[in-house]
Amino acid sequence: MRHMMVEEQRDVFKLTRDCLSMQDIVDTVNSASCGAISVFLGTTREDEVGGRKVVGLEYEAYEPMAQSEFNKLCADIRERWPSIAHICVHHRLGWVKVGEASVVIAISSPHRHDGQQAVQHCISQLKANIPIWKKEVYDTQEASWKENAECSWSSHSKLHTENTSV
C-alpha cells in the first residue's frame, strides 16, 4: 500500500508593480497530487471609448482590505470545491499598458472540472469584492476611473473624468 503525504494548502495573493510571470504563478500551485492547473490570464485591452483609444490602465488597491477579502474568497472556494489544492492570484498595480497582463489566477486540483469552475468563480468574485480600482488612460491624455459591473459597492453612476499626463 502506498502512503501519500498530505500537502499543506497554499493561498497566495500578491499585488505588484512588476510584470506578472505566468511560470512563477503556475509553479506556486503545482502539486504532485494534482492532475490539473487551471489558469486565467487577464490582459489590458485596447478599447475605444467615445472616439478615444485606451493606451493603458492605472491600478490602485486598498491593500490590507484586499488581502482580507482574498482570504474570504479562498475560504469560499474551498467550501464549494473541497478538492482544490492551491490558489494563487497575482494582480498588477500602477501602470499596465495594452497587451500586458493585469491579473493571473492559477488553481490546482486533482481533476480539471473543479479547478476550471473555481477559476471562473475566483475572477468574478475578485472583481466584485476585492478593492482594486482601475483608471483607463486614453490616447488623448484623458483618463476615467472605471467601475466593475460586478463590484458589490458599485454605484453605476457617472464616471469621473480627469486630464492626466502619462
Mean of the per-residue pLDDT values of the chain: 88
The rounded percent of the chain whose pLDDT value lies above 90 is 76
CATH of domain 10-163: 3.90.1170.40
Residue 113: per-residue pLDDT: 97
Q: Which amino acid, one-letter code, is at 118? A: A
Q: Where do the structural domains in the chain lie, given as residue ranges?
A: 10-163
Q: What is the mean pLDDT of residues 69-88?
A: 98
Residue 162: its pLDDT value, please? 43
Least reliable range by pLDDT among 45-49, 135-139, 147-151, 155-159: 155-159
Q: In one letter, which amino acid is 131?
A: P
pLDDT for 1 equals: 45
Binding residues for substrate, as ranges, are 111-112, 127, 134-136
Q: What is the mean pLDDT of residues 159-163?
A: 42
Binding site residue list: 111-112, 127, 134-136
Return the pLDDT at 159: 42
Please tell me which residue, 55 or 148, carries the higher pLDDT value. Answer: 55
Backbone angles phi, psi at 68, to 5 degrees: -60, -45
Q: Within a 10 A sphere around the Cβ of 10, how many other Cβ atoms?
A: 14
Q: So what's the pLDDT on residue 163?
A: 43
What does the pLDDT read at residue 152? 53
Q: Strand 10-16 and strand 86-92: pairing? A: parallel
pLDDT digits (tens, 9 = 90+) for 103-139: 999 999 999 999 999 999 999 999 999 999 999 999 9
pLDDT of residue 165: 43
- pLDDT higher than 90, residue 149: no
Asked if residue 121 lies in contact with residue 110, where contact means CB atoms within 8 angstroms, the answer is: no
Instruction: Give me the residues paired with residue 134 across strands.
Output: 59, 146
**First vs last C-alpha separation in the chain:** 62
| CB proximity list for 29: less than 8 A, separation 6 or greater | 10, 37, 85, 86, 87, 88, 106, 107, 108
17-54: pLDDT as tens digits: 999 999 999 999 999 999 999 999 999 999 888 889 99
List the beta bridge partners of residue 103: 42, 91
The number of beta carbons lying within 10 Å of the beta carbon of residue 74 is 22
